[in-house]
Every structure is written in C-alpha cells, then in structure tokens.
Amino acid sequence: MTEIKPFRSEIPQSALDDLADRLARVRWAEELPREEVTDGVQRGPVAPGWEYGVPGEYVQRLVRYWRDGYDWRQWEGALNAHPQFTTEIDGQNIHFLHVRSERPDATPLILTHGWPNSVFEYLDVIEPLRQDFHLVIPSLPGFGFSGPTRERGWNRHRTARAWAELMRRLGYSRYGAHGNDAGSFVTPELGRIDPEHVIGVHVTQLFSFPDGNLEGLSEKELEYVRFLGQFNDNMSGYAKLQQTAPQNLAHALADSPTGQLAWSAQLLASTSDDHVLTNATLYWLTNTSASSARFYYEDHHAEHPPEPTTAPTGLASFAHDFTPLRRFAERDHSNIVSWNEYDRGGHWATQDAPDLLVEDVRAFFGKLA
C-alpha cells in the first residue's frame, strides 16, 4: 500500500488515432458574428470577442493545429525526461515527478498545479528551481495520471493530508510548499495540517474576498474590489458549474475532445497553443474531465476551518491575475511574511513570467531554510 513505483507516460497509438478521428469529424457550435476576436490574453475580466465565452474562431484554429501540427509525443517525451512515480495514498493513486537537486542540502519543495492545468504547468521551471530545491510535483487527485478519483471527499483538505503523507513517504521531514490556482487552496492547508514539517507556504493567489464591510477602504482598494466583482461575474462560470453539477458537462467532455479544448481554453488561452493542447490532450487521454471537476464540488461542500493559517506565508501576485487586498488576506492568513506584486505576468506565471516566479520562490524559501 505504501510502495512507490516508477512511471512513464506511454499512451497507446490507438488512443491518439481515435483522438485524430474524432477531431476530423467535429461539428462546430453556431455563434453570433463577432467583429474582433483576440488571442484570449486577459487584460481585464473579458477579452474582446470573448464576451459569450470561447469563440469558434479560436477553437477552430487550435483544432486545425491539434490535428495537423501538434505532437503529443514531443511533450510526452519532455515529461518522461524527468523521474516519475506513482503511489497509493488514502486509497487513491497519486502520480508525481520527483526531481532531486544536485545539491545534497537543497530544500525539498512540493509544487501543486491548478485546473485546467496539470504537472505540465511546472515543466519549464524544473531546471532553474532544481538548482536550489528537491522538487516533488504531484498530479492532483482526479487529474491526469492521478485520476480518476473513485470516492467522494477529495477536497483541498484531504489532498493536503495526502501531500503530507507523500513527503513523509519520500523521507522529507522539513520542506516548503508552493501552489498556483487550485494549488493556492491546497498549499496553505498543507501548512495548517503539517506545521511541524512545512517551513513555509508560497502561493500566487490568496483567495481572500471582502466580507461585505468596505468602510475605510482607499480608492485604490475599492478599485481592487470592483475588479474582483467583475472577475467573479464574468470569469467564474466554470467554477459555479463544477461546484454544483460537475457531472452535467463531464458527459460532453468525455465524448468530445473539441469540447474539452474549449472548456479548458477560457483560463488557459493566455498560454501558448502547445500548452493549451498538451493539457487538453492529457485530460482527454486520461478521461479526467469529470474527476477534476469534482474537486470543485467536493471543496465547495467541505467544512473549512474558520481560524486563519499560521505558517509563514509568501505571495507572488502577478499583474494580470486575481490580486487580493492585504487586509483581507491577513484576516485569513496570520503570518504573511512576504508580499510581492509584479507589473507583468498572469494567472499562469510559469508560462509568462517564469523568471519572476522562480526568483520569488528562491528568495522566500532562502530566508526560511
């Protein structure tokens, strides 16, 4: 039950042939004419041409590339270039990369990805980070090669407990934790439940929302609140559905790779075409659209501790992403020791601001090690 087994991605060619066949027979959704469609890079709650959601022009372009130019084997090979393993924790298969630094005294660091991303989120920062860290990069339960989940309850808290067990199983008694997106929910909880071993928590979002009392806020803070409201109104449809009825859409996503691509693209479109397609392909090949969506449902229906976290916490906030107000973040996290806001980068900083992210991670844990 505690065995750690080597793993390699070896997708059968028949699965890729089936994917190509389905892409060749796609039926496009109808839509209203649009005067302007951008590449989806967010510079506000809604990019031009994306008001109704992911536009057909964008999806059709990526499907053409998916069918005629994209090479899954290239990215599968890039993943397989790093040591990968699986182990069973709390009845669930857990897939993870384990990349050791050449420095024996390097700090162990667990990195948690988000949705609709995967371990591919961190592929480009492995080499710079492994100069200072032993890296553990797990696939969230129900995501990619960890999926699907087979029972209820895989929320941020159960995942954090699994991560603590994973690090114990790997022999790390003192380690740091970083997370983005869904990883920014899991990582603070890891610091909460394993304080004897977690030296610090580093995230790219602190999802601390106003509690209704806006008295005393400056004009700049009120502008932040207005942006949060616009973001919630225009960009949270995927979260609302996955929190309440994740299985509804999962039937369509399990049957249509084009649907899987479009569902992923609202959040991933600011990254490269290859990154969008690699994640859509992974979710398709592992049939984890349903189980990854259930993470939102389980987390929405979980009981969350009312007390603030106490682990030393660092935030790296990027210009075109959710930016919390510090007063509300400190309400939820009582030991924020590092807070940096950058003038570039977005929700997927590993893709558009990896240099800033790596240096922030390095500086934060360098003070704690």
pLDDT tens figures, 309-331: 999 999 999 998 988 899 899 99
Residue 231 CB partners (closer than 8 Å, separation 6+): 45, 322
pLDDT of residue 49: 82
In the predicted model, what is the mean pLDDT of residues 63-89?
A: 98
In the predicted model, what is the mean pLDDT of residues 258-287?
A: 96
Kind of pairing between the strands at 84-89 and 92-99: antiparallel
Confidence of residue 43 (pLDDT cuts 50, 70, 90): very low
* 194-229 residue pLDDT tens: 999 999 999 999 999 888 778 888 888 888 888 777
| Identified catalytic residue from 122, 297, 347, 360 | 347
In the predicted model, what is the mean pLDDT of residues 232-258?
A: 91
In the Cβ-directed half-sphere of 41, how many Cα atoms lie within 13 Å?
A: 12
In the predicted model, what is the mean pLDDT of residues 24-32?
A: 95
Q: pTM higher than 0.85, yes or no?
A: yes
| Identified catalytic residue from 181, 299, 332, 360 | 181
pLDDT of residue 246: 96
Percentage of the chain beyond pLDDT 90 is 83
Does 46 have pLDDT greater than 70?
Answer: no
- How far is residue 262's CA from residue 40's CA, in Å, rounded to a whole number? 12
Higher-confidence residue: 132 or 53? Answer: 132
Q: How far is CA 25 from the centre of its chain?
A: 30
pLDDT of residue 181: 97
Please say if 296 is a catalytic residue: yes
Select from 129, 137, 145, 18 the least CA-distant residue to 76: 145
Does 41 have pLDDT greater than 60?
Answer: no
Domains of the chain, each with CATH number or no CATH = 73-368 (3.40.50.1820)
